[in-house]
Amino acid sequence: MKKALKYLGIILLLGVLYGSYYLYVRLPIINGYASKNLCSCVFVSGRTVEDAEKNELNFSFIKLTTNAVDTVAKTVTSSFYGFRPRTAHYNEKVGCALVNLEENITDFKDIDFKKELVYYQKDTLLKVNIQTENKALIEASNHHFTEIEGSPRKNTTALLVVHNNQLILERYAKGFTKENRFLGWSMAKSIMSTLIGVLVKEKGVDIEKPLIMPEWENDERKHITLNNVLQMSTGIEWVEDYGSISDVTKMLYTQDDIYDVATSNDLEYPVGTFYEYSSGSSNILSGQIKAHFENKQDYWLFPYRSLFAKIGMESMLLETDPKGLFVGSSYAWATARDWCRYGMLYEQDGIWNGNQILPQDWTQYTATPATNSVGKYGAQFWLHTKEEFPDVPSDMYFADGYQGQRVFIIPSKNLVVVRFGLSSDGPVDFNQLLKEIIAGIE
């Protein structure tokens, strides 16, 4: 008996040691996630610390962090019972960045977005015409906001519908308004694709040519094109696992130079033959956009001058890493109305107020299935599949972000639907939502 208890004690001790080690090595990611997201919620979106902690950080080990918000220095420091603290810094020009070494913090003092940009078309297309008498539309909204007892919460925070350039439905959860910026998460990937499209139109960039990557000249990665990156078919080895120490979590939460992480892995598959979802690919796009400009200032201003200003997305903010690269995989913030404007650009085939913002065939290219994606993915946008959307027109495609952020584009119905929330995909039936909205407009 004593011998058995001794072995049991050893097993328990080993379990405790392994559990402690498992948690300890992940603390930079846990604390990094908490500090970065709380910083952005407070300083970029204008939410209270209490609200953000309750709704954005209330899961897994993240909810056990202690968060110190310095409203003077504009920083947030998070730690797990005092262990391995991480600090995110806010800059009013580019949002919050999670910093490992303070010497890597980029100085944006020589750039003034507000002075250099003129938002001259803000409401020339998006007309507010809320249909308060449309019972079918209101019922669709009620279904999406109403929680069902005993079921996982949908936690919808915003729902907007634009039909024929008119905002006919706009609804927010308590604590959110049309003034709040909403985080698109991976909808930032779609923004990167749009910016590549703008480069194609403005600078004649050829997406079929190999990337500007001197570091790859001596291996097979030298054959990777912008098209490969846009369609997530680079063949570069990548692990997109947010629950472990993986390529994506190291890139977002432990390194100051996200481009270095995104470009450092070797090939796992021949270039252009295999589809694999990769946040690294979207940050390669961000770095390639930068490579087409002679200086950082022109790179930083490019999205605002050439896209956001032209379609009136006055609230849009692209956050950067500490080295000054736009985090093209994850961190794009805008009001829900401005996200509508973004969807409208695609619904109108890349044209805004008669001006061709994107190449004439870019929206068609965007919605073309990537190699080996089983028809579900295009160029940094997700596509319609019969399995997921049996009751939705087949020309629908969408920008997709973590926790159910969506910009749905349905050209055949002249329809854009924007949804934000704090939920997993499970509780949200987007097919039913779109089906009910379409019934409401018809």
Mean of pLDDT values over 243-266 = 94
What pLDDT is recorded for position 427? 76
Residues 378, 255 share a domain: yes
What pLDDT is recorded for position 25? 87
Pick from 1-10, 256-265, 330-339: least confident? 1-10
Residues 171, 43 share a domain: no
pLDDT of 125 > 80? The answer is no
- Residue carrying the six token digits 């910083």: 39
Instruction: Indicate the pLDDT class of residue 120, thresholds 50, 70 and 90.
Output: low
Residues 152, 54 share a domain: no
What pLDDT is recorded for position 106? 85
What pLDDT is recorded for position 17? 61
What pLDDT is recorded for position 32? 95
Residues 147, 87 share a domain: no
Mean of pLDDT values over 378-384 = 98
Residue 258 lies in a domain: yes
What pLDDT is recorded for position 124? 63
Instruction: Indicate the pLDDT class of residue 150, thresholds 50, 70 and 90.
Output: confident
Instruction: Indicate the pLDDT class of residue 435, thresholds 50, 70 and 90.
Output: very high
What pLDDT is recorded for position 11? 66
Residues 175, 83 share a domain: no
> 91, 109, 126 — which closes off a domain?
91
Residue 96 lies in a domain: no
What pLDDT is recorded for position 22? 73
Mean of pLDDT values over 304-333 = 95
Q: How far is CA 269 from the centre of its chain?
A: 26
Residues 145, 81 share a domain: no
- Residue carrying the six token digits 């589809």: 275
Residue predicted with more confidence, 11 or 250? 250
pLDDT of 201 > 70? The answer is yes
What pLDDT is recorded for position 126? 83
pLDDT digits (tens, 9 = 90+) for 292-303: 999 999 999 999
Residue 436 lies in a domain: yes
What pLDDT is recorded for position 307? 95
CATH number at residue 244: 3.40.710.10
Residue 346 lies in a domain: yes
Number of domains in the chain: 2
Q: Using alpha carbons, list the distances in angstroms from residue 46 to 50, 101, 309.
A: 12, 27, 22
Provide the sign of the torsion angle of the four alpha carbons 347, 209, 308, 249, taken in this order: positive
Residues 328, 182 share a domain: yes
pLDDT digits (tens, 9 = 90+) for 65-104: 999 999 999 999 999 999 999 999 999 999 999 998 787 8
Closest CA to 327 of 95, 46, 165, 114: 95
pLDDT digits (tens, 9 = 90+) for 267-289: 999 999 999 999 999 999 999 99
**The Cα angle at residue 167 between residues 312 and 125, in degrees rounded to 5:** 35
Residues 343, 237 share a domain: yes
pLDDT of 152 > 60? The answer is yes
pLDDT of 168 > 80? The answer is yes
pLDDT of 123 > 60? The answer is no
Residues 153, 63 share a domain: no
Residue 101 lies in a domain: no
What pLDDT is recorded for position 206? 97
Across the chain, mean pLDDT equals 92
What pLDDT is recorded for position 20? 65
Residues 207, 69 share a domain: no
Domain that holds residue 350: 135-441
pLDDT of 393 > 90? The answer is yes
What pLDDT is recorded for position 442? 86
pLDDT of 248 > 80? The answer is yes
> 58, 91, 124 — which closes off a domain?
91
3-state SS string over the chain?
CHHHHHHHHHHHHHHHHHHHHHHHHHHHHHHHHHHHHHHHHHHCCCCCHHHHHHHCCCCHHHHHCEEEEECCCCEEEEEECCEEEEEEEEECCCEEEEECCHHHCCCCCCCCHHHHCCCCCCCCCCEECCCCCCHHHHHHHHHHHCCCCCCCCCCEEEEEEEECCEEEEEEECCCCCCCCEEECCCHHHHHHHHHHHHHHHHHCCCCCCECCCHHHCCCHHHHCEHHHHHCCCCCECCCCCCCCCCHHHHHHHCCCCHHHHHHCCCECCCCCCCCCCCHHHHHHHHHHHHHCCCCHHHHHHHHHHHHHCCCCCCCCEECECCCCCECCCCCEEEEHHHHHHHHHHHHCCCEECCEECCCCCHHHHHCCCCCCCCCCECCCCEECCCCCCCCCCCCCEEEEECCCEEEEEEHHHCEEEEEEECCCCCCCCHHHHHHHHHHHHC
Residue predicted with more confidence, 230 or 125? 230
pLDDT of 8 > 90? The answer is no
Mean of pLDDT values over 199-227 = 96
pLDDT digits (tens, 9 = 90+) for 329-368: 999 999 999 999 999 999 999 999 899 999 999 999 999 9
pTM recorded for the entire structure: 0.94
Burial class (CB in 10 A: 0-12, 13-18, 19+), 136: middle
Residues 170, 55 share a domain: no
What pLDDT is recorded for position 176? 94
Residue 178 lies in a domain: yes
Pick from 60-74, 198-212, 231-245, 414-428: least confident? 414-428
Residue 319 lies in a domain: yes
pLDDT of 153 > 90? The answer is no
pLDDT of 1 > 70? The answer is no
pLDDT digits (tens, 9 = 90+) for 395-418: 999 999 999 999 999 999 999 999
> 91, 118, 143 — which closes off a domain?
91
Q: Which two tokens stand for residue 135?
A: 């019972």
What pLDDT is recorded for position 388? 96
Residues 157, 76 share a domain: no
What pLDDT is recorded for position 180? 96
Residue 399 lies in a domain: yes
